[in-house]
Amino acid sequence: MAMNIGKTLRGVAIVAASLLPFLPQPVQAERIKDLASVQGVRNNQLVGYGLVVGLDGSGDQTTQTPFTVQSIINMLSQLGVTLPPGQSLQLRNVAAVMVTAVLPPFAKPGQQIDITVSSMGNAKSLRGGTLVMTPLKAADGQIYAVGQGSVIVSGFTAQGQAQQLTQGVPTAGRVPNGALVERAVDAEFEDQSVLTLQLRNPDFSTAIRIADAINDYTGQRFGMRVAAERDARTVSVKKPKGVSAARFYAEVENLVVESDTPAKVVVDSRTGTIVIGNQVRISRVAISHGTLTVRITEAPKVVQPEPFSKGETAVEPYTAIDASQPNARVAVLDGPNLETLVSGLNRLGVKPDGIIAILQGIKSAGALQADLVLQ
């Protein structure tokens, strides 16, 4: 009896395993914080011009970069050092650089942020250099941070009399925590009564699902519906009374929503990269793909005259033309899902450039149910 029960259970397990491909698979869902961001909560770009000193002879050639010399003179004058008029500076341990940084939202004075240093002149390397105090400005012209510190460069260059080796980019580097925030960006997040969520990938279906998920949560939590979709990118959410904006959004941003994206195929013909979305479908089509090779060989022949004929030696042209079409095949391609589509393209045995041509042909035939984006 026990043996019969064991056989029955194994049979049920085999049937269940065979039905797994046909059962509905769990849909992948994302948090709202991964799908959208709050309007007004964003980064701000900063930029500045400065000098990197302490280089081992790999700085700017001052005879070819006059702005470096002018910057050195201005810096020394601010430090109380006055150079004689017409003084020619021949320095190789200084480089003029552009300093960039990203000011995160809600940054406060005294907070440290990373900065990126990039050479402007003809310096060979910034390795071992130190960035001198550089003010960093935003688009409004105000100074929001000041950068200074040792530059960390991952690339290097080595040069001999007959050969030069360069690894990475030695003329750009980073200064971790190299800038101090001096001014805070005005933010009124706590005073906002309506939060505007902006989808990173605009889609009407996703926007509606986000609004429904928020309304379901707030209906149970606060007894009211607060979210409404405006368009494919924007969802407005009213903050309930009795809770701060930060706490309310912290509760809302972790709600899980099933996102939706349009069917799209992105093709980069320069690198041969092909990205096919999960929603891409292809109607049943027959495809013939093969490479036609034509080989033309020129083999002129030398013709000698017969003995005692008083003829002249001549060259007779001879051309051999050979046309072949290897790997020519006809295949039926049907893509009801992404796995079938990819396996069908692989079954043709073509390279990425051939797949690009096939996708373009399928799109022209009207069988590709997706947007084809060529880059």
Separation between Cα atoms, residue 154 and residue 88, nearest integer Å: 33
How many Cβ atoms are within 10 Å of 49's Cβ, its own excluded?
Answer: 15
CA dist., res. 356 & res. 271, Å (int): 11
The token pair at 163 is 């050969």
| pLDDT values of the chain reduced to their tens digit, one per residue, 375 residues | 444 444 433 443 333 333 333 333 444 678 999 999 888 888 899 999 999 999 988 888 877 888 888 888 888 888 888 887 766 777 889 999 999 999 998 889 999 999 999 999 888 889 889 999 999 999 999 999 999 999 998 866 666 655 666 667 888 999 999 999 999 887 777 778 888 999 998 889 999 999 999 999 999 989 999 999 999 999 999 999 888 888 899 999 999 998 888 888 888 877 778 888 777 887 777 776 665 455 656 677 777 777 766 677 777 776 665 655 565 555 565 556 666 767 777 766 777 777 777 778 878 888 888 888 887
Cβ 303 vs Cβ 368: under 8 Å: no
Q: CA-to-CA distance for 313 and 306, rounded, in angstroms?
A: 10
The pLDDT value recorded for residue 25 is: 40
Residue pointed to by tokens 């960390």: 152
Residues near 290 by beta carbon (within 8 Å), at least 6 away in sequence: 325, 326, 327, 328, 329
Q: How far is CA 266 from CA 127, 273, 274, 338, 340, in A?
A: 39, 8, 6, 14, 18
Q: Give the DSSP H or E segment for 251.
A: helix 245-252
**DSSP summary character for residue 271:** T
pLDDT of residue 9: 35
Do residues 254 and 213 touch, judged by C-beta distance below 8 A?
no
State the DSSP code for 174. Answer: E
Q: What is the DSSP string of 97-120?
A: EEEEEEE-TT--TT-EEEEEEEE-
Report d(CA 203, CA 234) in Å as an integer.
10
pLDDT at site 28: 61
The confidence score (pLDDT) of residue 270 equals: 79
DSSP 313-368: -EEE--EEEEEE-TT-EEEEEEESSHHHHHHHHHHTT--HHHHHHHHHHHHHTT-E
Distance CA 46, CA 185 (A): 12
